[in-house]
């Protein structure tokens, strides 16, 4: 079994991609028909695809939080509870820890860690700042991409070879189990013997010194004799964060903000929605015209680490002071000196006095009043929504540039 196939994190991602069964058990025996047990009683996690194998449920994974590897039980538990809000997730984790009775403990992920993990497990992202690369891999992304591609290929072949009753022919299953997995050109060219190229440095040193000397003579600030490593990978730019108002009177909530900020059309919020975080992408032309920036949207900073506040680029507010109670700056005057404020109201209505008192630090925008979709002229009244959305994004982008956001870097303080 290869490193990729034996890795618990990659096995879980492959099983999710293929729809294979993942069974908590009390035995290391990977045989079929092993009974499923509750997660608090399980000692192993049995995977059925791409290989039938049982992994200890407390096995450490490559996902690192606070410089410590997170165990497989915590990873799988976070995936099972990916649809619920952060408070409900924390309550479920506390309940499971009580059932474990001190024999083990489920790690509670911070909201950014949880979003990053779920995005990677779903296959929507090939990289994660919290996941270490596989042993022998320079970068974890190529191995992950190759493994997922191989999984998809196996699923297609298996589906086409199923008999009329919807089951796989046992003889074909035996043949498939003996198939040799083919890698891509990166794994094929890497080989099994590491090659030492340190002698190249001595050969290249005179040329590098000559080049840097000529650069210095033409006004370059690079010191003579210093070689610049061209293979160095730039640091991953963190995702900016937008905070929404949790107030029930807010026109923008988690249920409708994506359609408004991405689609340019306002719809009333669904107050029964339990979504606690989401992300959207947008090209910020004056910061990075070639790569879209991914924004994280959340209603509260309960799961924030101190450094997350340096990534907050906008705060949507209704003007109610209780919204800022748990913020880094609980006083609105101090808050909006560091972060752009945005107020969204109905056209023709005056903003609250609290919004006016914040002055130019809060952008006040107005949209047309909502009409039922079946009412005459309802659709035509929404053409101005996109104009308001562009006004908001322009203010966010201007504020981000002023705070130090760049194509490959984010501010260390705001």
Q: Which residues contact 155 (CB under 8 A, 6 or more apart)?
A: 17, 18, 19, 49
pTM above 0.75, yes or no: no
Same domain, 245 and 152: no
Average pLDDT of the residues in 44-65: 89
* Two tokens, residue 250: 């807010």
Among 126, 160, 194, give the residue marking a domain's end.
160
Average pLDDT of the residues in 384-405: 93
Q: What single DSSP character describes residue 360?
A: G
Same domain, 256 and 392: yes
Domain annotation covers residue 187: no
Burial of 16: CB neighbours in 10 Å, binned 0-12, 13-18, 19+: middle
Average pLDDT of the residues in 58-83: 92
Average pLDDT of the residues in 133-160: 49
Same domain, 123 and 22: yes
Domain annotation covers residue 397: yes
Domain annotation covers residue 345: yes
Domain annotation covers residue 127: yes
> Which of 143, 339, 129 lies closest to 238, judged by CA?
129
Question: Is pLDDT of 237 > 60?
Answer: yes
Give 280's strand partners: 295
Same domain, 260 and 395: yes
Sign of CA dihedral 176, 178, 181, 182: negative
> Which of 345, 277, 343 lies closest to 315, judged by CA?
343
Burial 323-334 (b: 16+ CB within 10 A, else e): bbeebbeeebee
The pLDDT-based confidence of 207 (bands split at 50, 70, 90) is confident
Same domain, 154 and 247: no
The pLDDT-based confidence of 188 (bands split at 50, 70, 90) is low
Domain count, the chain: 2
Radius of gyration of the chain (CA): 26
Question: Is pLDDT of 167 > 90?
Answer: no
pLDDT digits 0-9 by tens, 324-373: 999 999 999 999 999 999 999 999 999 999 999 988 889 999 998 887 76
Tell me which of 390 and 48 has the higher pLDDT. 390
Domain annotation covers residue 122: yes
- Whether residue 1 contacts residue 51, with contact meaning beta carbons closer than 8 Å, is answered with yes
Domain annotation covers residue 378: yes
Give 341's strand partners: 315, 362
Distance CA 156, CA 176 (A): 12
Give 205's strand partners: none
Among 128, 143, 160, give the residue marking a domain's end.
160
Question: Is pLDDT of 29 > 60?
Answer: yes
Domain annotation covers residue 209: no
Same domain, 399 and 250: yes
Sign of CA dihedral 269, 274, 276, 282: negative
- Whether residue 345 contacts residue 365, with contact meaning beta carbons closer than 8 Å, is answered with yes
pLDDT value of residue 335: 93
Same domain, 394 and 245: yes
Distance CA 81, CA 343 (A): 33
Phi-psi region of 404 (alpha: psi -120 to 50; beta: other; left: phi over 0): left
* Two tokens, residue 48: 């059925």
User: Considering the chain, what is the average pLDDT of its residues?
Assistant: 80
- Whether residue 414 contacts residue 238, with contact meaning beta carbons closer than 8 Å, is answered with no
pLDDT value of residue 260: 94
pLDDT value of residue 7: 86
Same domain, 144 and 31: yes
Domain annotation covers residue 171: no
> Which of 282, 285, 336, 331 lies closest to 313, judged by CA?
336
Same domain, 156 and 252: no
pLDDT digits 0-9 by tens, 277-288: 888 999 999 999
pLDDT value of residue 170: 65
CATH code, domain with 321: 3.40.50.11990
Same domain, 396 and 265: yes
Among 123, 144, 160, give the residue marking a domain's end.
160
Range of the domain at 151: 3-160
pLDDT value of residue 32: 83
């Amino acid at each position: 079994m290869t490193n990729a196939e034996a890795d618990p994190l990659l096995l879980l991602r492959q099983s999710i991609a293929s729809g294979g069964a993942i069974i908590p058990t009390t035995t290391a025996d990977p045989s079929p028909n092993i009974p499923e047990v509750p997660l608090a009683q399980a000692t192993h996690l049995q995977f059925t695809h791409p290989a039938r194998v049982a992994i200890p449920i407390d096995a450490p994974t490559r996902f690192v939080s606070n410089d410590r590897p997170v165990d497989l039980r915590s990873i799988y538990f976070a995936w099972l509870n990916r649809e619920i809000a952060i408070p409900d997730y924390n309550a479920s984790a506390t309940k499971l820890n009580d059932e474990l009775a001190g024999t083990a403990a489920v790690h509670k992920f911070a909201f950014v860690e949880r979003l990053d993990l779920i995005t990677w497990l779903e296959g929507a992202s090939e990289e994660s700042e919290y996941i270490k690369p596989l042993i022998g891999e320079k970068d974890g992304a190529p191995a992950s991409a190759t493994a997922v591609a191989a999984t998809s290929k196996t699923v297609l072949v298996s589906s086409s070879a199923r008999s009329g009753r919807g089951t796989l022919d046992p003889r074909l299953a035996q043949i498939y189990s003996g198939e040799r997995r083919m890698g891509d050109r990166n794994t094929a060219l890497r080989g099994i013997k590491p090659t030492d190229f340190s002698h190249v440095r001595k050969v290249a040193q005179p040329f590098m010194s000559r080049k840097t000397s000529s650069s210095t003579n033409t006004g370059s600030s690079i010191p003579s004799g210093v070689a610049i490593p061209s293979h160095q990978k730039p640091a991953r730019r963190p995702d900016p964060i937008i905070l929404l108002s949790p107030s029930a009177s807010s026109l923008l909530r988690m249920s409708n903000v994506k359609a408004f900020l991405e689609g340019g059309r306002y719809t009333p919020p669904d107050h029964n929605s339990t979504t606690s975080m989401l992300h959207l992408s947008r090209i910020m032309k004056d910061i990075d015209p070639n790569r879209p920036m991914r924004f994280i949207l959340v209603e509260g900073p309960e799961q924030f680490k101190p450094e997350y506040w340096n990534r907050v680029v906008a705060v949507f507010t209704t003007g109610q002071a209780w919204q800022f109670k748990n913020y880094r700056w609980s006083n609105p005057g101090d808050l909006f000196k560091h972060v752009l404020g945005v107020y969204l109201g109905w056209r023709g209505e005056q903003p609250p006095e609290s919004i006016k008192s914040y002055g130019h630090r809060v952008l006040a925008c107005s949209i047309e009043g909502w009409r039922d979709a079946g009412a005459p002229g309802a659709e035509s009244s929404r053409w101005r929504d996109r104009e308001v959305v562009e006004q908001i994004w322009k203010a966010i982008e201007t504020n981000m540039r002023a705070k130090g956001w760049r194509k490959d870097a984010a501010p260390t303080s705001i």
